[in-house]
Amino acid sequence: MNPAINFPANKPDLKLSSHTSTSHPHPLEDRRRLEEGLESLRQRETNLREYEAHLRVWQDRLEQGQGSVTAPQFATPAVNPENDVALNAAWEKLIRARELLEAEQAHLRDDRLTIKEANAALKRREDALALREARLAQREEQLNAAMQAAITERAKPSALSRFTSAPFALAKSVFGANKPKSE
């Protein structure tokens, strides 16, 4: 019933190849690859030297033209005396528009703060109302349970009435109050 189990051989077969035969099949090809790599490194070095020279010339120009490298300044347009009145009017309009914008931004910021505060107050009120509703529901459950207990208590006869009616109930059961009237 059990199939035969075949185990592998005790010693694995190792095939080692010659180190010299795989690493250097063609010495001329290796030499050609090395020369190509050396040539590409020389080209990179030449390019880097040219770029360095370009940067040095640029640095010298910057140091001669200006004391330090700063952000470029925008050129201001030449002002004609005829356009001076129009220019001043345009500046006044711009300044007034900016003042109006800042005032509107302040109002908007105030409105946002007011709305945020109102939302926070509303959230607090909702939480307080939910807490009150939970307390009210708990009180109603307690009241209903107390009323139910009072109703069941009233439905039971008192101890005195049970004590006084017990002999009569015994007499009824003995003398056959439940007997049929056919006799």
Is the pLDDT at 11 greater than 80? The verdict is: no
Domain ranges of the chain: 28-66
More confident residue, 113 or 40: 113
What percent of the chain is predicted at pLDDT more than 70? Answer: 73
Q: Which residues contact 69 (CB under 8 A, 6 or more apart)?
A: 62
Q: Taking the model in full, what pTM does it have?
A: 0.34
Model confidence pLDDT, tens digit, residues 92-110: 999 999 999 999 999 999 9
Average pLDDT score, the chain: 80
Distance CA 176, CA 182 (A): 13
More confident residue, 83 or 148: 148
Distance CA 36, CA 30 (A): 10
Is the pLDDT at 64 greater than 90? The verdict is: no
Tokens of 50: 């040219």
Model confidence pLDDT, tens digit, residues 128-148: 999 999 999 999 999 999 999
